[in-house]
Amino acid sequence: MNKIIFCQTPFQVIVSLMIRKQYSDSTKRFDIVIVDFFSGYDRIAEKLSQKGFFDHVYVAEVRDFILAKGKIHNLKKLFKVLSPSRLISVSVPNLADYYDEMFCWNYDAFTASFRTAYSSRAKHIKLNIFDEGFITYLPVSDTIPKRGFMKIIERLNALRGLSELTRESVDAYYLLEPSAVFFETKAKVFEIDRKLTRDPEIRDLINYLFDASEEIQKYDRKYIILEEAFLANVPDVDDEGIFDRIIERVGLENVIIKLHPRTREDRFTKKGIKTIGQSGVPFEALALCGDFSEKKLIGISCGTIPTYRMLFGEDFDGYMLFKYVKPDVPWFKERYAAFWDRLEAAPGEKGIHFPESEESLYKELLG
């Protein structure tokens, strides 16, 4: 059996290592494709290739294809979509002649084209969705709606006899927190073993890929505030004011602010706050290679905190403030409230917490 997994972020690389370790017993060949969606993707691919953890490591430089904008770029993309086998052979040469299963987190134009190309070589290539944090657990129609080229691909697939695939009807899911799935599905759901986060081989490999040990030394304070891209996405949220008040209560000398990768303006260093910029090392890699069990992670709606919860269960304290922040942050209110309730720890235990007010946050942090 031949399997192939596609990774678009550093976190997905980490999850792919766990899947490879746990689900490769009956596999003849297990390959990985690193997509050019994150900084240092080529360096990670080269290091991973040197270790031989996967049978073959490929790089797919398809960012411009997936994110094509403008009439000329979109016309070129259309021609590629109409010829998926050629698209794949040019984008990722030297792949195996066939694969029985493919893994990805997002069924986008590139992975959809791969499914089309390889389903023409066999009766059916299984499509498995793997964990990419909380967005994986929400209905695809609400988080990654199909439009444009995805609709074209699905229509072409129908002509080829391939069924329409949505997140609700894929072949299988590989998840860290299966009980949190927030939609109905007939697909099989497999649980990724959290114990693999303690596996020496996995930890050593992650440390090697991301050079995590040196970066860990910077996190020498109890409270770690995780900045988000509100300046770009939700400018009405006064995250700076919220963080300033937290720092005043817990003490400047006890706080680190981790800047968001898309941050263009450092608003905190000038205030004397210890600030860590973009190093290219995902926080999940730091957590896997170090001990953050006595730290307190704080964010408004930061995806790193629920991801940490899914990786480590209740072996940490994380605080998400979206319940009392105005205006409302998408994916966190109304019908999604039940999803977040499933992730919340019982009172008094370690885990992920959702304070209802600033005062209740301070009571938990300082009590």
What digits encode the pLDDT tens for the residues 134-178? 888 887 665 555 556 777 777 777 777 776 666 566 899 999 999
State the pLDDT confidence band at 43, using cuts at 50, 70 and 90. very high
User: Domain 216-366, what fold?
Assistant: Rossmann fold (3.40.50)
Interval 290-308 mean pLDDT: 90
State the pLDDT confidence band at 273, using cuts at 50, 70 and 90. very high
Among 350, 293, 357, 346, CA closest to 323: 357
- Same fold flag, 2-198 and 216-366: yes
Which pair of structure tokens corresponds to residue 126? 């299984």
pTM: 0.87
Q: What is the CATH number of domain 2-198?
A: 3.40.50
CA gap 174, 14 in Å, rounded: 13
For tokens 């301070």, name the residue.
362
Domains of the chain, residue spans: 2-198, 216-366
What digits encode the pLDDT tens for the residues 178-225? 988 888 888 899 999 999 988 999 999 999 999 999 889 999 999 999
**Do 352 and 344 form a contact (C-beta atoms < 8 A)?**
yes
- Is omega for the bond preceding 306 within 30 degrees of 0, making it cis? no
What digits encode the pLDDT tens for the residues 5-16? 999 989 999 999
DSSP string, 88-116: HHHHSTT--S--SEEEESS--HHHHHHHH
The DSSP bridge pattern shows strands 255-258 and 223-226 to be parallel
CB atoms within 10 A of CB 74: 12
Which pair of structure tokens corresponds to residue 152? 């074209």
